Structure 1
Amino acid sequence: MSNAYAIIETGGQQLRVEPGRFYNIRHSLSLSPNESKQNTKVLIYRVLMIRQESNISIGYPWLRGAVVKGRILHSHLEDKVMICKMVSKKKTRRKLGHRQKSTRFVVDSISLNGKEIHK
């Protein structure tokens, strides 16, 4: 378990991120498919919490001056999710599929008030 990590909010979900690791996130307004080219720099300001060794900083709702810096590795489509609906006694069946767009990005650094947090 790492000593330093942050909890961020992106794409409607909360993620626990550490420097040097990569994560899959859903496309959001900040990461539209047109702009998400390889090695594009990403700054995430919606940081909910930062832990550095025994120090914990919690935002209400977000921490001021906290930034998670990273870069996009690539965009891809996730596995297809199948939705099957059947109405009994009416002989009605419907089958739909959906593939969620997501982006893989790597966290380069976590900073709080201009100071970079190390592992």
Structure 2
Amino acid sequence: MTYAVVDIGGSQIILEPGRFYDVNYISSNPGDAIRFNRVLLFSQEGNFSIGKPCLQDVAIKAVVLKHLIGNKVNVFKVKPKKNNRISKGHRQRLTRIFVEDISY
């Protein structure tokens, strides 16, 4: 089993080849090939390589499939005894990627 821990858009995600992932918005067009270089950990058949902070010789190739927006998060604020109620909503922009290959 091969996997890697990658820093994408400020969050750390465990990636495996041949799987789909929804990550924070990446400004590239659907169909574009992208490459992730900030690999923090790489594991292949039980052998681990840990970066300090990143591994230089590991590259992850992925394809942008589409852009989408996540589920709505409602925020409701109430200030007691002031008759002040505020309701807001937020939908995060996401990018769906397909990991093709993890090469060492």
Q: What is the CA-CA distance between 1:12 and the residue it aligns to? A: 1.5
State how far apart, in whole Å, the 2-side matches of 1:55 and 1:79 are: 37
Give the one of 36, 41, 46 matched to 2:38. Answer: 46
Output aligned runs, 1:38-77, within 5 Å. Answer: 38-77=30-69
Q: What is the CA-CA distance between 1:52 and the residue it aligns to? A: 0.4
Return the letter of the residue paired with 2:15: V
CA deviations on 1:50-109 (whole Å, 9 max, x unpaired) are 000021000011101211101011100111111100000111000111110000000000
Gaps of 5+ in 2: none
Give the one of 83, 86, 90 matched to 1:98. Answer: 90
Higher share in strand: 2
SS at match of 2:35: strand
SS at match of 1:14: strand
- How many residues align? The count is 104
CA RMSD of the aligned region, Å? Answer: 0.8
Gaps of 5+ in 1: 113-119
Normalising by structure 2, what TM-score? 0.96
State how far apart, in whole Å, the 1-side matches of 2:71 and 2:9 are: 18
Give the one of 2, 17, 22 matched to 1:4. Answer: 2
Deviation >2 Å, runs of 4+: none
- State yes or no: 1:86 paired with 2:84: no
Normalising by structure 1, what TM-score? 0.84
State how far apart, in whole Å, the 2-side matches of 1:6 and 1:16 are: 6
